[in-house]
Amino acid sequence: MPGTEAAASFFSDLREVPSGTPIPLYPLTPDPTGAITPAPDYLSLLLQPGFYLVTFDVAAVLLQPGYLQVTPAVGGVPQVNLGVYFRTAVGDSSAGGSRTFLFNAPAATTFSLTYNASAPTTSVTTTLTVQKLNRAE
């Protein structure tokens, strides 16, 4: 029967995130089944095989004109087409975006979000919900 087999949510609320680094993902609502778990350093998630529905949201304040980009990676492979991109021509500007997508993990894998920005940023907040789906083949 289709539905959700497991689910977990994660967050981060940081003063700043260095450009080119993974966003820490701290558990907000842990998955009791163990299918979705944070890595010991909280920089990625460990996912058991299956179909996953992912929703993430990021917001930050760009202190100068520039852009921010958040790129998800599955198994260490960046998925630029599934990321968030925001550009502004003025400083002290709120920036953000969200994405929802489905992917198949045929084997155990990792999931992470990498933060990039061309300008200094502050107040970087991220929320992430991951659902492992029951999917009839």
Q: Cα dihedral angle (109, 80, 16, 130), rounded to 10 degrees?
A: -40
pLDDT at residue 3 tops 90: no
What average pLDDT does this structure show over 105-109? 97
Q: What is the DSSP secondary structure assignment for residue 31, as one 8-state letter?
A: -
Which domains, ranges and CATH numbers included, belong to the chain? 3-111+120-134 (2.60.120.40)
Write the pLDDT tens digit of every residue in 7-32: 999 999 999 899 999 999 999 999 99
What average pLDDT does this structure show over 84-110? 94
What average pLDDT does this structure show over 18-47? 97
The pLDDT value recorded for residue 1 is 45
Percent of the chain residues past pLDDT 90, beyond the cut: 91
For 82, list phi and psi in degrees, rounded to 5: -105, 10
